[in-house]
């Protein structure tokens, strides 16, 4: 039998119906792994297995991918908590926490978008994100206040945000954290946080970091020190890529050419800040352990030292957590090694206090506690008013004993 043209022609390649979602997912994973500015549209396309121009059939630019990916992350959380079946307040709360834990673990490679969305989204999209998160917090806070009627709305929201931070901590480290065991552990941590005493008075709101000079009333005597302080303030406010050497020099009251007398380039300034943060944190941790009477006391002192560090140098801590992808390769690897050593110091103390706790579980708890300190501290603008720092330290210790 003769074959017709239709018999021999290849079947047309059909475009997958979920290609837009695949592009957004690939973009989110790359953004979380290498930073928004460290990823190109062509690299996102390659991760999906398509050409760069094919991306533009779905998104006009890279920013649109970020917006869509952020919506997907929040949408997954809202979908998971939208129709709980339990009737009682404690049953409803447990159902919500388990659902959130499942989403956090299953989407750990992309959920990190929540930590730095404000840096790259426009005010309009930031407001959209904040409204969605307020809806999510409200869903969990409602049954919590039913169980704990003594809580004010503000106190309940703080506790819920602490629980969400614990779930989000699985995005902040590279070690394996998958499966139901991790979900169960994170749910237990969330329950522990929601049962913790709330601060008697909500923290007094201070001006936003960008409205308050980082140098305070007294300017540092050293120009090098002044450059570091101003650079951290600008990096925190705008993000590393949006800040030029000229901006740093202007903030410090000097010409850009003068900046280069102290630092060869912007990346060297960022690295210097990271090494400074690492040295200070290592010194504080070492001193805390040296003064302790036993492992439990050491753990308490180490947590307090970390809270003091975070509250005392919030710009430096924020940049330290958010901008490591912009470090030169050699510095990034060295500093990540130092970060791992700091975590393992905590893990060792936790296991000394709780010898039956597996090392993997201890590591999950440590990352959750560290994340709670920085996220809850940021919510209160790192204000020590009314003992907010002391309460934050209690939250972190509660996580480590969950």
| Residue pLDDT tens, the chain, 402 long | 445 544 555 544 456 678 999 999 999 989 888 888 889 999 999 999 999 999 999 999 999 999 999 999 899 999 999 988 888 999 999 999 999 999 999 888 887 776 665 678 888 999 999 999 999 999 999 999 999 999 999 999 999 999 999 999 988 776 555 557 999 999 999 999 999 998 765 555 544 444 444 444 445 658 898 999 899 889 888 888 889 999 999 999 999 899 999 999 999 999 998 888 889 899 999 999 999 999 999 999 999 999 999 998 888 888 877 787 788 888 888 888 888 999 999 999 999 999 999 999 999 999 999 999 999 998 888 888 888 999 999 999 999 999
* Conformation bin of residue 106: beta by default, left when phi > 0, alpha when psi is -120 to 50: alpha
- Tell me, what's the pLDDT at 209? 42
Gap between the Cα atoms of 328 and 274, Å rounded: 11
Closest alpha carbon to 143 in 156, 158, 162:
156
What are the DSSP calls for 229-276, one per residue?
HHHHHHHHHH-GGG--HHHHHHHTTS-HHHHTTT-SSHHHHHHHHHHH
Gap between the Cα atoms of 253 and 272, Å rounded: 20
The answer to whether 226 and 215 have CB atoms below 8 angstroms apart is yes
Q: Calculate the dihedral angle through the C-alpha atoms of 17, 20, 21, 25, rounding to the nearest 10 degrees.
A: 140
What does pTM read for this prediction? 0.86
Angle between helix 359-379 and helix 180-194 axes, rounded to 10 deg: 40
| 61: phi then psi, degrees, rounded to nearest 5 | -165, 180
- Residue ranges in 35-61 assigned as alpha helix (H): 41-48, 52-55
What are the DSSP calls for 369-390, one per residue?
HHHHHHHHHHHTTT--GGGHHH
- Tell me, what's the pLDDT at 75? 93
Gap between the Cα atoms of 149 and 144, Å rounded: 8
Burial class (CB in 10 A: 0-12, 13-18, 19+), 104: buried
Question: Angle CA(271)–CA(328)–CA(241) in degrees, nearest 5?
Answer: 75
The answer to whether 353 and 296 have CB atoms below 8 angstroms apart is yes
CA 91 to chain centre: 29
- Tell me, what's the pLDDT at 118? 60
Gap between the Cα atoms of 163 and 187, Å rounded: 9
Closest alpha carbon to 388 in 313, 310, 320, 319:
310
């Amino acid at each position: 039998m003769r074959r017709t043209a239709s018999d021999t022609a290849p079947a047309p390649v059909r475009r997958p119906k979920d290609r837009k979602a695949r592009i957004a997912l690939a973009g989110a994973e790359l953004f979380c792994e290498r930073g928004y500015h460290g990823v190109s549209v062509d690299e996102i396309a390659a991760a999906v297995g398509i050409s760069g121009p094919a991306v533009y059939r779905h998104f006009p630019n890279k920013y649109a991918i970020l917006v869509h990916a952020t919506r997907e992350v929040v949408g997954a959380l809202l979908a998971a908590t939208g129709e709980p079946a339990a009737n009682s307040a404690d049953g409803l709360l447990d159902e919500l926490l388990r659902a959130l834990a499942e989403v956090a673990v299953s989407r750990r490679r992309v959920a990190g978008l929540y930590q730095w969305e404000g840096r790259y989204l426009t005010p309009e999209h930031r407001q959209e994100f904040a409204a969605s998160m307020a809806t999510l917090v409200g869903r969990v806070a409602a049954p919590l206040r039913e169980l704990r009627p003594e809580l004010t709305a503000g106190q309940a929201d703080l506790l819920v945000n602490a629980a969400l931070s614990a779930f989000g901590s699985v995005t902040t480290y590279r070690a394996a954290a998958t499966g139901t065991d991790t979900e169960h552990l994170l749910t237990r941590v969330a329950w522990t946080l929601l049962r913790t005493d709330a601060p008697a008075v909500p923290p007094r709101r201070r001006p936003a970091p960008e409205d308050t000079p980082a140098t305070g009333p007294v300017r540092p005597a050293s120009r090098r020190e002044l450059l570091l302080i101003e650079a951290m303030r600008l990096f925190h406010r705008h993000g590393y890529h949006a800040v030029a050497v000229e901006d740093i020099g202007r903030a410090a009251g000097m010409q850009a050419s003068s900046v280069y007398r102290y630092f060869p380039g912007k990346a060297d300034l960022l690295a210097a800040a990271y090494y400074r943060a690492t040295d200070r944190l290592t010194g504080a941790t070492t001193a805390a352990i040296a003064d302790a009477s036993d492992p439990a006391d050491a753990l308490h002192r180490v947590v307090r030292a970390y809270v003091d560090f975070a509250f005392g140098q919030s710009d430096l801590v924020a940049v330290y957590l958010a901008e490591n992808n912009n470090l030169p390769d050699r510095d990034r690897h060295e500093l990540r090694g130092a970060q791992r050593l700091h975590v393992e110091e905590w893990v060792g103390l936790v296991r000394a206090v709780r010898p039956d706790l597996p090392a993997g579980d201890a590591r999950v708890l440590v990352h959750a506690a560290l994340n709670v300190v920085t996220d809850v501290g940021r919510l209160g603008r790192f204000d020590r008013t009314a003992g907010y720092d002391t309460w934050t330290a209690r939250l972190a210790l509660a996580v480590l004993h969950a």
